[in-house]
Structure 1
Amino acid sequence: MEKVLISACLLGKKVRYDGKAFPIADQILAQWIAAGRVISVCPEVDAGMSIPRAPAEITAGDGFDVWAGSAFVIEDVGLDVTAHFKKGAEMTLVLCKKYNIRVAVLTEHSPSCGSTAIYDGHFTSTKINGVGVTAALLKQNDIEVFSQHDIADANAALLRTTIWNTNY
Structure 2
Amino acid sequence: MTARILVSACLMGHAVRYDGAAKPLNHPAIERWREEGRLVIICPEMAAGMPVPRPPAEIEPGATGAAVLAGDARVVEKTGGDVTAAFRQAAENALALARRTNCRFALMIDGSPSCGSSLVYDGSFSGTRVPGEGVTAALLRANGIEVFSDREIERLAGRIEEFGF
1:145 Cα deviation from its structure 2 partner: 0.3
1:1-150 matches, cutoff 5 A = 1-60=2-61, 61-150=63-152
Rate the CA distance shift 1:162–1:93 in 2: closer, same or farther, 3 A: farther
The residue identity in structure 1 corresponding to 2:137 is A
Query: How far apart in 1 are the matches of 2:144 and 2:163?
Result: 12
Query: How far apart in 2 are the matches of 1:66 and 1:89?
Result: 11
Structure 1 segments, 4+ long, off by >3 Å, are 160-163
The sequence identity of aligned pairs, in percent, is 45
1:71 Cα deviation from its structure 2 partner: 1.0
1:161 Cα deviation from its structure 2 partner: 3.8
Which deviates more, 103-112 or 61-70? 61-70
1:159 Cα deviation from its structure 2 partner: 2.8
Contact 1:102 1:161 in 2 (8 A): no
Structure 1 residues without counterparts, runs of 5 or longer? 164-168
Query: How far apart in 2 are the matches of 1:5 and 1:162?
Result: 18
- Structure (1 or 2) with the greater helix fraction: 1
Which deviates more, 64-73 or 6-15? 64-73
For this pair of structures, how many residues does the alignment match?
163
Contact 1:103 1:157 in 2 (8 A): no
Task: Please give the root-mean-square deviation of Cα atoms over the aligned residues, in Å.
Answer: 1.0
SS of equivalent residue, structure 2 residue 53: coil
1:162 Cα deviation from its structure 2 partner: 4.5
What is the CA deviation profile of residues 89-135 of structure 1, one whole-angstrom value per residue up to 9, with x for unaligned ones? 00100111111111100000000000001000010011111000000
Query: How far apart in 2 are the matches of 1:29 and 1:107?
Result: 14
